[in-house]
Amino acid sequence: MSKYWSSLVSKLQPYVPGEQPKMANLVKLNTNENPFGPSPKVIEAIQSELNDNLRLYPDPEGLALKESIANYYGVKARQVFVGNGSDEVLAHIFQGLLKHDKPILFPDVTYSFYPVYCGLYQIESNVIPLTDSFEINPDDYKQANGGIIFPNPNAPTGRYLGLEHVEDILNANPDSVVVVDEAYVDFGGETAITLVDKYPNLLVSQTLSKARSLAGLRVGFAVGNEELIEALNRVKDSFNSYPLDRLALVGAIAAFEDRDWFEKSRQGVISERERVTAELESLGFEVLPSKANFVFARHPEHAGADLAAKLREQGVIVRHFNKPRISDFLRITIGTAEQNNALIKGLASI
């Protein structure tokens, strides 16, 4: 007789994160981390928090961090939700806010965690194809739905949807929660956080993993209407009383305070992205216009899987998705100038 947990294991299709190889000498351009590292003020803040207070629970509200995010974006602390990386924030959103009696909408080429959450929380979805140029068409998001989610810029395409089009989607769906996942917004997009007071149905999620270079600390947040945030707090409080540990709280606050570091880091990524794009194009690649810390590129004469395998032989790891529509492409994280040179040299030799 089959055991119930065997069927559970076969039913759940978890998210598969990009590889974190142990070999230090690899040029790692596969998981969209920031090569410039966190602000030294973040390290200092964490070091000074390594004291006897670790025996005490952290603030169950994470209020000091919410205040610093609220102050940064000009909203109220009650409009901010924090969690262990935006993956966790999104999990709470899917579980508590997107579970309706109609299917939720998201693009066909997008962040692979969305279908995973749908499977876990048993949420119906209706997957909307991107246009031929891999863009989100707001007109396609005008059908009955239980909520909408898309990354902006989108992942893994890097394509950005202007805020006027985000507003089209919000206006067409006043009764649905519209979640804009802005993991990569600081690399050239404009945040929709400026719209949260205008649209009570808007929820914007962000992360400190990318432009603030803190993927290892696991801090994400969402900003929206106070009622939506209160609903999220209730989902979170039914799961874990403490959104973040003491080290993550002080580190994240320091990251928001060091605006100079943030500015230098994101500008460094943007200028390398433009250089890498031009170099790839001169090697014959088609590169989608990107506002993220990665580019999505394909070559007319080489299969994506082959290119990824050959780069790996040369010690450069990039991401290849064996999925319909995008199997020709490589998703290449923007690294330091030296890492990017290794990538270009590797591709030029293929």
Q: Which residues bind ligand PMP (CB under 6 A)?
A: 85-87, 111, 151, 155, 181, 183, 207, 209, 215, 220
Which CB sits closer to ligand PMP, 58 or 220? 220
Query: Least CB distance from residue 56 to ligand PMP, whole Å?
Result: 26
Collapse the DSSP code of 49 into the 3-class scheme (helix H, G, I; strand E, B; otherwise coil) and give the result: helix
Residue 93 · residue 179 · CB < 8 Å: yes
Output the smallest distance, CB 281 to ligand PMP, in A. 24
Q: Which is nearer to ligand PMP, 17 or 284 (CB)?
A: 17
**Separation CA 245–CA 24 (nearest Å):** 28
Q: Write phi, then psi, for 67 (nearest 5 degrees).
A: -65, -40
Which strands form 104-107's sheet, in the order they lie side by side?
80-83, 220-224, 202-207, 178-181, 148-151, 104-107, 125-128
Residue 333 structure tokens: 């994280």
Q: Spell out a b/e string for 52-75, using b for 16 or more CB atoms within 10 Å of the CB, else e.
A: eeeeeebeeebeebbebbbeebeb
Smallest distance, Å, CB 199 to ligand PMP?
A: 20
Rounded distance, CA 286 to CA 177, Å?
Answer: 35
**CB nearer ligand PMP, residue 273 or residue 299:** 273
- Shortest spacing between CB 129 and ligand PMP, in angstroms: 18
Q: With b meaning 16 or more CB within 10 Å and e meaning fewer, what string describes 282-312?
A: eeebebbbbbbbbbbbbbeebebeebbeebb
How far apart CA 33 and CA 18 sit, in angstroms, is 11
Q: How many CB atoms lie within 10 A of CB 93?
A: 28
Helices (H) and strands (E) in the chain, counts: 11, 12
Q: Judged by CB, which is closer to ligand PMP: 111, or 296?
A: 111
Distance in Å, CB of 259 to ligand PMP, minimum? 20
Nearer to ligand PMP, 218 or 299 (CB): 218
Q: Report strand pairing: 27-28 vs 220-224.
A: unpaired
For residue 44, what are the contacts with CB-CB under 8 A and spacing of at least 6?
254
Residue number, 215 or 235, with CB nearest to ligand PMP: 215
Q: In the bound complex, what is the minimum distance in angstroms from residue 231's beta carbon to ligand PMP?
A: 20
- Shortest Å, Cβ 69 to ligand PMP: 14
Smaller CB distance to ligand PMP: residue 210 or 246?
Answer: 210
DSSP structure string for 128-148: EPP-TTS---GGGG-S--S-E
62 vs 346 by CB, closer to ligand PMP: 62
Q: In angstroms, give the least distance from the CB of 220 to ligand PMP.
A: 4
Closer of 189 and 346 to ligand PMP (Cβ): 189
**CB 299 to ligand PMP: min, Å:** 24
